[in-house]
Amino acid sequence: MTVYITSSGHFLPGPAVDNDEMETILGKVHGKPSRLKNKILSSNGIKQRHYAIDAAHNTLISNQAMAAEAARDCLQHSPFTPADIPLLSCATSQGDMVLPGFASLVQAELALPHAEINSAHGICSSSLMAVKYAWMAIQCGEHRRGLVVCSELVSRLFKAGRYEVLSDESVDFNAEFLRWMLSDGAGAILLENAPRGRCFRIDWIKSYSHADAYPTCMSVGQGRDATDSRTWQDYPQYADAEKAGALLLRQDVRLLENIVKMGVDGFLRLIRDGMTAPGDIDHVLCHFSSAYFKSRIFQLMSMAGVAIPESKWYTNLYERGNTGCASILIMLDEFMRTQSYQVGDRIICMVPESGRFNVAYMHLTVVENE
């Protein structure tokens, strides 16, 4: 059975925050301005983003509530209400609670009755894992429609106080890097077993994990000492884990370049398997986390002879920020609403994830049902 994306929506909390305002909201660690912020921002190219916390570090809206707002925005552009949705598939890197699963919390926020739910846990590529679950469930005839919602509220991890409790009072680059990269937001799409108006047919979804070949690159739960095998749950008290930096979001920047190679390698595999070809693609929606990585992707694709003209690439990274797993759905929603595309156009969505190097791809075709 063929499956279509017939509606989309998103939610971004609060007003846009520019680069000069970031540290006012997140806070200065030990009262000192960051020496790394401007360097990281000049590399990633992000000009503004949104936070669900204020300068007093109050949480203004929960992650599950942001997800529900995106879902409502999506359903407002459809003939359905939450009561009409039999399937809810959600993704987030970290929910508001450790347990229960994120989809349970979003279902409760939406007051969505008698639904089948799925929670996809991971980092950026968990978005397309959540989409794939709903896509397959509709394909096999289990449901006629399903709602996919991806949401991230990462700013709570970046409050200055999180860094000030470190036992040696020093913040290493790997712990600070993502503080100037990530922000909050939610996106949603509605999947149906029949087209409705001009919409996107899902042709295939594929992902390739390289966790067997590479060490962890992005994580929460391990301390800064790579020789220490303990996770945050192994310390005598949670306070000990916090002092060791095991509750900070970390990026091993020495490994980060590998994600570009893995993304291009996966694209070459898709071409080899006859699933796509560079000349057949009309639009590219790629979740790259930084302008730097966009240039590296172009460079490697050109070297491999599979370059796609930059005019075909669409991103809203610089205006909306890097919202983790929510990014691709926020991007897709904005593309659907604001960009020009024709029936028959082919779209490829690419989501590289640096957690332990998983890369996901989705191929869409624009169709129309009068």
Q: Given this model, what pLDDT does residue 276 score?
A: 96
Backbone angles phi, psi at 131, to 5 degrees: -65, -40
Domains 3-197 and 199-214+253-369 share a fold: yes
Per-residue pLDDT of the chain (370 residues; tens, 9 = 90+): 899 999 999 999 999 999 999 999 999 999 999 999 999 999 999 999 999 999 999 999 999 999 999 999 999 999 999 999 999 999 999 999 999 999 999 999 999 998 999 999 999 999 999 999 999 999 999 999 999 999 999 999 999 999 999 877 778 899 999 999 999 999 999 999 999 999 999 999 999 999 999 999 999 998 887 778 899 999 999 999 999 999 999 999 999 889 989 999 999 999 999 999 999 999 999 999 888 888 889 899 999 999 999 999 999 999 999 999 999 999 999 999 999 999 999 999 999 999 999 999 999 999 998 5
Q: pTM of this prediction?
A: 0.96
Tokens encoding 207: 């992902």
Kind plus residue range of the DSSP H or E element containing 250: strand 250-251
pLDDT for res 231: 94
SS3 81: coil
The identity of residue 65, as a single letter, is: A
- In our burial notation (b when 16+ CB lie closer than 10 A, e otherwise), range 53-82 reads beeebebebbbbbbbbbbbbbbbebbebeb
Tokens of 69: 């707002």
List 283's β-bridge partners, or say none.
Answer: 347
For 288, 327, 355, 364, the CA distances from 324, given in Å and listed in that order, are 10, 6, 11, 21
State the residue for tokens 């994990």.
209
Q: CATH 3.40.47.10: does it fit domain 3-197?
A: yes
Residue in this structure with the two tokens 């590529």, named with its chain if needed: 125
Domain boundaries, the chain: 3-197, 199-214+253-369, 218-251
| pLDDT of the residue at 370 | 57
Angstrom distance (rounded) from CA 114 to CA 330 = 27
- Which residue spans within 98-183 are E strands per DSSP? 116-121, 145-152
Q: Which two tokens stand for residue 367?
A: 């169709």
Cβ neighbours around 85 below 10 Å, total: 23
Exposed, middle or buried: residue 206 (CB in 10 Å: 0-12, 13-18, 19+)? middle
At 283 the three-state DSSP class reads strand
Which CATH number among 3.30.465.10, 1.20.1090.10, 3.40.47.10, 3.40.50.300 corresponds to the domain 199-214+253-369?
3.40.47.10
